[in-house]
Amino acid sequence: MQGKRVLLVEDDKNESVAMADLFIGAGHRLCVVSDGYAALGKLSDGQYDMVVSELNLPRMSGIDLLIKIKEVNTALPVILIASGICVKEAVEAMKKGANDFILKPLSPETIESITSGFPRASSVEAATATNGKYAIVTINGEMNRLLNDAREIANSRASVFIHGESGTGKELFARHIHQCSDRKDKPFLAVNCAALPETLMESELFGYEKGAFTGASARKKGKFEAADKGTILLDEISELDYQLQSKLLRVLQEKEIDRVGGTVSIPVDVRIIATTNRDIEKQIEEEKFREDLYYRLNTIPIHLPPLRERKDDIPLLADYFLKKYNNIESKVVKGLAEDAILALMEKPWRGNVRELENIIERAVLMSKGNIIDEEGLLLNGRIRPAAPAGYPIMPVMPEGSLRELEKKVIFQTLNRTNGNRTHAADILGISVRTLRNKLNEYREKMTTS
């Protein structure tokens, strides 16, 4: 049987994930939307072989959606699904032209039954790639193409280089590749190349022998050994020290590592995925990144689009984050008002999906009712646009020098994040390397004073 193009309309995230697995597992192409208005938009943009819709949807019921679809295309099969027995609604749905009315949960047999009963029409695809607590939520065509590409190359040993702006989901994509591969039961280790000083990064990656340096009281394995038979993610690899890049190149070429202070090379079987948010070709021109290493890493290049180029995902992502923070914060926000959705669609999203998540998290936390309108998003009048919820900006104090104030703010932010430099740098709006240099500067001043 040839796969069908199915438009699934489901506002419950867990249900949509489960049904997506069933449809995709049966060989069908799927587009998932969370409400009737989004479904009508998709139907106006592309062809589908059938619509499968939840009965109880926000803003527009499944029956109202059915009526609107049949007004435009009476031949398009529409199947309604519900969580419980709804005799009255089922009868009404069939009178209005529904081709079937099915109770959840759906099974593979049910999927086969409903998809084989209707012929294909004479491509929009969707996916929710979920791996434990990590999820890529999208209905965007380019993102779906990239997800399909990731599945195709997942079992290869070839290195992958993921390019994309901050907040586009590069680590999530790397995890997706790992989960689709035959290494999924082996370790996945992520190393932030900007988080550690150059003097520690080598021992972090490759390990060290006892006595290799002061304080090396015992042998320690590095990330490459720990990730053997699995996958290692070198996050923001463009921040890696230039001299260390040559040692990484050797690992890629020889498939072996040398511990710091060691005399014997150790073979490793590790799939390498690297990410960067920099213009890597410019880095090469400025001799900040090795060209030969770039070519070795860039065997399979993946460019993740920024959120402003996949705006069709904004309503779906906003709904996903709303439900996520409802659960985390024990809130009961039901959804976003139309003006809120329009406001989100108009933003430039320099911080991409991460910025959208922060906005929805804050809106859920601050919500007073069960619907968030544009005002409730708190998009205007914020003291500091990039500050995540829960981390108020320090007021500027008149006493003391600017340098002393800077030092005070940095240490208080580190205190709030329990010493997490990456998180603190995000809050302060600076790079991890800048934060590290500031801390070294403060230490040097203390030792000389």
pLDDT per residue over 238-276, tens digit each?
999 999 999 999 999 999 999 999 989 999 999 999 999
Q: If residue 254 lies in a helix (H) or strand (E), which one and from where to where?
A: helix 242-254
**Beta strand spans in 20-165 (E):** 29-33, 50-54, 78-82, 100-103, 127-131, 134-138, 160-163
Residue 368, CA atoms < 13 Å, CB-side half-sphere: 4
pLDDT at 139: 74
Q: Which domains does the chain have, with CATH numbers?
A: 5-125 (3.40.50.2300), 142-303 (3.40.50.300), 314-377 (1.10.8.60), 402-448 (1.10.10.60)
Distances (CA, A) of 40 to 68, 327, 358: 8, 29, 29
pLDDT of residue 164: 96
Which tens digits make up the pLDDT trace of 230-240?
999 999 999 99
Quick check: 127 and 114 in contact, CB under 8 A?
no
DSSP assignment string, 88-113? HHHHHHHHTT-SEEEESSP-HHHHHH
Query: Which two structure tokens, joined as six digits, stand for 2?
Result: 């040839």
Q: What is the pLDDT of residue 247?
A: 93
Is the predicted pLDDT of residue 429 greater than 70, yes or no? Answer: no
CB 335 within 8 A of CB 371: yes
User: Has residue 125 got a pLDDT over 70?
Assistant: no
pLDDT in tens, 55-68: 999 888 999 999 98
Q: Of 167, 73, 217, which Cα lies nearest the Cα of 359?
A: 167
State the sign of the Cα–Cα–Cα–Cα dihedral 325, 327, 333, 337.
positive
Which secondary-structure segment (H or E) carries 20?
Answer: helix 13-25
Phi/psi for 371 (5° steps) reads -130, 135
Say yes or no to pLDDT of 425 above 70.
Answer: yes
pLDDT exceeds cutoff 80 at 118: no
Q: Are 146 and 164 in contact (CB under 8 A)?
A: no
Mean pLDDT, residues 339-349 taken together: 88
The winner for highest mean pLDDT among 85-99, 153-167, 306-320 is 153-167
Tell me the pLDDT tens digit for each residue of 352-411: 999 999 999 999 999 988 899 999 999 873 433 444 444 443 333 334 445 666 677 788
pLDDT in tens, 181-211: 999 999 999 999 988 787 789 999 999 998 8
Distance of alpha carbon 39 from alpha carbon 5, whole angstroms: 13
| Confidence band for 222, pLDDT divided at 50, 70 and 90 | very high
Angle at 319 between CA 314 and CA 325, to 5 degrees: 120
CB 294 within 8 A of CB 280: yes
| pLDDT of the residue at 91 | 74
pLDDT class of 124 with cuts at 50, 70, 90:
very low
Whole-number pLDDT of residue 391: 41
Find the angle CA(105)-CA(123)-CA(146) to the nearest 5 degrees.
Answer: 85
Q: What is the pLDDT of residues 318-343, one digit of tens each?
A: 988 998 898 888 899 988 888 888 88
Residue 73 DSSP SS3: coil
